[in-house]
Every structure is written in C-alpha cells, then in structure tokens.
Amino acid sequence: MARKAVVLFNLGGPDNLNAVEPFLFNLFNDPAIIRLPKPVRFLIAKLISKRRAPIAQEIYRKMGGASPLLDETDRQAKALSEQLATNLDGDQYQVFVAMRYWHPRADAVAREVKAYDPDEVILLPLYPQFSTTTSDSSLKEWAREADRAGISAATTTLCCYPTETGFISAYTDLIRQSLQKMEGEDAPRLLFSAHGLPKKIVDGGDPYQWQVEQTVAAIAAELAVADLDYRICYQSRVGPVEWIGPATEDEIGRAGEDGKSLLVVPVAFVSEHSETLVELDVEYAELAAEKGVPAYHRVPTVTCHPAFIKGLAGIVLNRKRGCHTSHCHDRLCPKSFVGCKTQPKEQE
Ligand SMILES: C=CC1=C(C)c2cc3[nH]c(cc4nc(cc5[nH]c(cc1n2)c(C)c5CCC(=O)O)C(CCC(=O)O)=C4C)c(C)c3C=C
Ligand SMILES: [Fe+2]
Ligand SMILES: [Fe+2]
C-alpha cells in the first residue's frame, strides 16, 4: 500500500492578540507581498506591522481574540481525510495543514511529513484561484522547507481549481439556500466579493482576477437564474497602492443608490475568518445600513460542504489523469498556461 501525504496550504492567523504583530510582520516580510529587496522589505515590514497591529487586534478581538482559520482548516483536513479513505486506489492518504504566516508553519510540517515517510507528496493550496501572493508563496516556502527536511519523495502540485465541479456546486447550493431564506423579500443583487490584489501584481501576469471571473461565470451558469443581477468586486484593501476594483465598499454604496438588497458571496475564501466574519459580516453590514441598502445578507463559505470536500478529493485522486504538467488538473490549464501564471492568449 503506497503512502501519500496531502499538504493543505492556507494563510494562517494569529492564535492570540500578542501574535497579531509578528503574524503581520511575517505577512509583510514576504517577497510575494512586498516586492522590495530584503533589507528594505524587512524594515518596511517592521514599520507596517507595528502600525497595523492595533487595527488588526481590534479585528481579531471581535472574533474572541484569535483567528478561527486553523480550526476551520483542521476540520477541512479531517473531512478530506475521511473522503480520501473511501478511495478505491488502495493507497493510504494522510492530510497535513501548513500555514504561511502563523503556526503550523511549513518548516515544522515538512519535518512531520518526512517522519511519515510518504511515497508521494501532494500539495493542495486552499485557494481555489491561483495567485503569486498566496498559493505560489506557500508553494515556494514548501519547496525550501521540504528540501531542508530532506523529503525526497515525488511531489505533485495542484495549483488551482477555479471551476472545479464540486467547488462550484457547493457555492451554488449555498446561494440557493440563502435565496430561499430571503423569499418574500425583493430579489437581491448578488455581490461576488473576492480578496483584492494590488493592480500592479495583476498587470504583472498574476492570473487570480481572471480565475475569480471564471469562478463567478461558472456559478452564474449553474445557478441558471434568468436576468440574474450580479457583480464581481474586491474587498480587503491594505496600504496606499492602487488595488483592482471595483471595491466591495463602492458596490455597497451603489446598491444603496439603486435601492437594491444585497446577497454577498465570498468566492475566493473557502473557510470563515476575519475577512468574512468581521469585514463582511460586521464592517460591510454597517456600511450597507449607512448607505440605505434595504437588506444585507451573506452566503457562508464552502468550508466542509460535502460537494466541496468531494471535489478536493477528486482533484487529489485524479491528479495524474489527462494532465499536461504535474500541477494540472482542470480544463483551465491549457498547455500555453504553464504553471497557471499567465492568462491563456485568447483570454487576454
Ligand atoms: C497587503 C497585502 C495583502 C495581499 C496582497 C493579500 C492577498 C490575499 N490575502 C488573502 C487571504 C487572506 N488574507 C487575510 C488577512 C490579511 N491579508 C492582509 C494583506 C494582504 N493580503 C492582511 C494585512 C491581513 C491581516 C488582517 C488585517 O490586518 O486586515 C486572511 C485572514 C486571516 C485570518 O483571519 O486569520 C485571509 C484568508 C487572499 C486570498 C489574497 C489574494 C488573492
Ligand atoms: Fe489577505
Ligand atoms: Fe493549473
């Protein structure tokens, strides 16, 4: 029986209020986030993390003083592990969780994976849409730490799954449930809200925004609601640089002007954390009330939705079938799209 290690990646979050500043430092000191030479980046990261810590601490205080992201991810790892145990390929899968900016960090997880002594390591970022700032950053850190831990097993990298059937069905199901709860109210506008990115990063070839658009198109197609009123927008801007838009805040203002109720769908997050529980549920809900939005609702993230977990298991189990590179698993990876780092030519 072959032994397979599946490593799930996510951003990580502080586990207490004192961890907020070092967590932020790790984030801003990442060359994928602040693209400056090491010594300058280090100083800027020290400065920004110190300045942002009190604001971020307020955010985490609203969630009881810690991020729920690790608990959420551990639940997903357990569900995926149970789903993989039903596989028919006779292999044994053990699921690990590695966070980018707070514990469990890649170095410790790589040592655990080494001790498990797998025949193959399968890397699966919990970001459906690939970005240089998220998946790529985690994968690069993993490559360094796996090397340092002496892992020599074959490694398969699953880069992204923006239109994977289970992921799309899970969101479609959750949206339908929310719409049902809103029956009797005026039909809402759907705001597909994704984490934003600095515009310069997208202009540099990051496929994230394009993949977010693919996700939303697939959900809208599966929803099949005639004349569906929906927009894509981007939340969580940080710092003074220009970010991709439209901003979720501006779309909330527009809904107020149009007298439209809102149903917000967080399409780039697969679990609950500060960006959903505080930014969407508290800050933007308050903004919607201020702007005169008649009603404001939010669809939960897919977390352990059975269709999503089955979809992830399918990506893992089908990883070798019909793929052009070791990371490829879905139809959005034409051969010209090596590593999912640029858009296919016809989409540009
Ligand atoms: C400043 C640059 C940032 C970029 C670029 C960025 C991209 C990005 N982030 C996520 C997912 C998450 N981000 C989360 C928190 C968070 N993100 C940034 C900054 C950038 N993110 C900060 C400073 C923080 C900390 C909170 C805050 O101070 O506002 C989280 C939540 C973590 C938690 O709650 O514990 C997630 C998840 C994506 C998907 C993304 C680009 C595609
Ligand atoms: Fe972020
Ligand atoms: Fe890919």
Same domain, 253 and 183: yes
Nearest residue to 137 via CA among 275, 29, 39: 29
Residue 327, annotated as binding a ligand: no
DSSP H or E segment with residue 194 = strand 189-195
Among 160-164, 165-169, 267-271, 272-276, whose mean pLDDT is lowest?
A: 160-164
- pLDDT band at residue 320 using 50, 70 and 90 as cut-offs: low
Closest CA to ligand 1's atom 5 = 197
Residue 187 sits in the same domain as residue 122: no
Ligand 1 in reach of 197 Cβ (< 6 A):
yes
Question: Is the same domain home to 196 and 294?
Answer: yes
Cβ atoms of residues 149 and 289 within 8 Å: no
Average pLDDT over residues 18-38: 97
Looking at the CA of residue 278, tell me the nearest atom of ligand 1: 34
| Co-location of 7 and 156 in the same domain | yes
My answer on whether 171 and 289 are in the same domain is yes
Quick one: 95 and 136 in the same domain?
Answer: yes
Same domain, 293 and 237: yes
134 lines ligand 1 (CB under 6 A): yes
332, pLDDT greater than 90:
no
Among 137, 140, 125, which residue's Cα sits nearest to residue 316?
125
**Ligand 1 lined by 238 (C-beta under 6 Å):** yes
User: Do 185 and 293 reside in the same domain of the chain?
Assistant: yes
In a shared domain, residues 180 and 275: yes
Q: Is 195 annotated as a binding residue?
A: yes
| Least distant ligand from the CA of 49 | 1
pLDDT band at 210 (very low <50, low <70, confident <90, very high): confident
- Cβ atoms of residues 9 and 109 within 8 Å: no
Q: How many domains does the chain have?
A: 3
* CATH number, domain with residue 328: 3.40.50.1400
Question: 252 and 263 in one domain?
Answer: yes
Q: How far is the CA of 127 from the centre of ligand 1 (A)?
A: 12
The verdict on 88 and 232 lying in the same domain is no
Lowest mean pLDDT among 96-100, 194-198, 305-309, 335-339: 335-339
DSSP letters, 37-80, are -HHHHHHHHHHHHHHHHHHHHHHHHTTTSS-SHHHHHHHHHHHH
Cβ 330 vs Cβ 193: under 8 Å: no
Secondary structure string (H, E, C) spanning 128-188: CCCCCCCHHHHHHHHHHHHHHHCCCCEEEECCCCCCCHHHHHHHHHHHHHHHHHCECECCC
Cβ neighbours around 159 below 10 Å, total: 27
* CA-closest residue to ligand 1 atom 19: 238
Same domain for 230 and 343?
Answer: no
ipTM of model: 0.93
Bridge partners (DSSP) listed for residue 247: 234
Locate the ligand 1 atom nearest the alpha carbon of residue 127 and give its number: 39
- Residue entry with tokens 């990442």: 30
Residue-wise pLDDT tens digits, 33-56: 999 999 999 999 999 999 999 999
The neighbouring-strand residues paired with 231 are: 191
What is the per-residue pLDDT across 78-112, written as a single tens digit (0 to 9) for each? 999 999 999 877 899 999 999 999 999 999 999 99
- 77 Cα: distance to centroid of ligand 3 (angstroms): 22
Domain end point (choices 279, 298, 317): 298
List the domain range (segments joined by +) for residue 212: 165-298
Question: How far is it, in rounded angstroms, from Cα 244 to Cα 197?
Answer: 6
Name the strand (E) or helix (H) holding 216: helix 208-223
